[in-house]
A and B are shown apart, each in its own frame.
Chain A
Amino acid sequence: MSSTTAVDVVMPQMGVSVSEGTITKWSKQVGDHIEADETLLEISTDKVDTEVPSPASGVVTEILVPEGETVEVGTVLARIGGEGAAPAAPPAPEPATQPAADAAEASASEGQAPAAEVGDTAPSGNGKSFISPVVARIASEHGIDPSQVPGTGNGGRVTKRDIQAFIDSGASQAAPAQPEPAQAAPPPPAPAEAVAPAPPAPAPAPVTAQAPTPAQASQEAAPPGLGETFEPMSAMRRGIAEHMRRSLDTSAHVTSAIEVDMSRVVQIREKLKKEFQSAYGVNPTYLAFIARAATETLRDYPWVNGELRGDKIVTRNYVNLGFAVELADGKGLIVPVVKNAETLNLLGMAKSIADIAKRARDKQLAPDDVTGGTFTITNPGGYGTFLGTPEISQPQAGILGTYAIVKRPSVITDENGTDAIAIRSMMNLTLTYDHRLVDGAYAGRFLRDLRERLQTWGESDY
Chain B
Amino acid sequence: MAERTYLQAISDGLREEMRRDERVFVLGEDVGVYGGAFKVTLGFQEEFGSWRVLDMPLSETAIMGGATGAAIMGMRPVAEMQFADFVSCAWDHLVTIAAKQRWRAGTPVPIVLRLPSGGGFSGGPFHSQNPESSFAHIPGLKCVCPATPEDAKGLIVAAIEDPNPVLFFEHKHLYRRIKGEVPDERYVTPIGKARIHQEGEEVTIITWGAMVYTAEEAAKQLPDSSIEIVDLRTVMPWDKEAVLASARKTSKVLVLHEDTRTGGFGGEIAATIAEEAFEDLDAPVRRIAAPDTPVPFSPVLEKAFIPQVDDVVRGLKELIAY
Contacts and interface: CB of A to CB of B under 8 A. Distances in A.
Which of the listed residues A132, A135, A137, A153 has the most CB atoms from chain B within 10 Å of its own CB? A132
Nearest to A84: B321
B281 A134 contact: yes
A134 B274 CA distance: 12
Nearest to A137: B279
Interface in B273-322: 278-283, 321-322
A32 to B, nearest CB: 13
Interface string A131-168: 01111110000000000000001100101110000000
A258 B248 CA distance: 79
B251 interface: yes
A98 B202 CA distance: 38
Contacts of A137: 279-280
By secondary structure, the A interface counts as: helix
Contacts of B280: 133-134, 137
Contacts of B282: 132-135, 159-160
Contacts, number: 28
A132 B250 CA distance: 13
A159 B281 contact: no
Interface in A36-65: none
A160 B320 CA distance: 11
Contact of A157 (B251, B281, B322): B322
Chain B interface: which size bin? 10 to 19
Contacts of B322: 153-154, 157, 159
Interface of B: 202, 251, 278-283, 321-322
Interface string A107-118: 000000000000
A160 B251 contact: yes
A86 B202 CA distance: 22
A137 B277 CA distance: 12
Nearest to B283: A132
Contacts of B251: 132, 134, 160
Nearest to B252: A160
B321 A132 contact: no
A159 B252 CA distance: 10
Interface residues of A, number: 12
B35 to A, nearest CB: 53
A133 B321 contact: no
A138 B111 CA distance: 48
B247 to A, nearest CB: 10
A134 B322 CA distance: 13
A29 to B, nearest CB: 15
A132 B319 CA distance: 13
Contacts of A134: 251, 279-282
A107 B283 CA distance: 42
Contacts of A132: 251, 281-283
A179 to B, nearest CB: 25
Nearest to A130: B322
A132 B274 CA distance: 12
Given A133-B279, A159-B282, 15 more contacts: A132-B251, A132-B283, A133-B278, A133-B281, A134-B251, A134-B280, A134-B281, A134-B282, A135-B282, A137-B279, A137-B280, A154-B321, A154-B322, A159-B322, A161-B202
A137 B321 CA distance: 20
Contacts of B321: 153-154
25 contacts: A132-B251, A132-B281, A132-B282, A132-B283, A133-B278, A133-B279, A133-B280, A133-B281, A133-B282, A134-B251, A134-B279, A134-B281, A134-B282, A135-B282, A136-B279, A137-B279, A137-B280, A153-B321, A153-B322, A157-B322, A159-B282, A159-B322, A160-B251, A160-B282, A161-B202
A160 B201 CA distance: 11
A76 B283 CA distance: 30
Contacts of A133: 278-282
A154 B251 CA distance: 16
A271 to B, nearest CB: 51
A139 to B, nearest CB: 11
Nearest to B248: A134
Q: Point out which of A135, A137, A154, A161 has the most chain B C-beta atoms below 10 A from its C-beta.
A: A161
A161 B280 CA distance: 12
A135 B281 CA distance: 8
Nearest to A157: B322
Contacts of B202: 161
A121 to B, nearest CB: 15
Interface string A336-354: 0000000000000000000
Contacts of A135: 282
Nearest to A136: B279
Nearest to B250: A160
Contacts of B283: 132
Contacts of B281: 132-134
B321 to A, nearest CB: 6
Interface in A172-230: none
A167 to B, nearest CB: 15
Nearest to B201: A161
A163 B153 CA distance: 44
B254 to A, nearest CB: 16
B195 to A, nearest CB: 25
A126 to B, nearest CB: 17
B104 to A, nearest CB: 43
Nearest to B247: A134
Nearest to B282: A160
Interface string A88-114: 000000000000000000000000000
Contacts of A153: 321-322
A136 B278 CA distance: 11
A160 B281 CA distance: 9
A157 B282 CA distance: 10
A274 B279 CA distance: 63
Contacts of B279: 133-134, 136-137
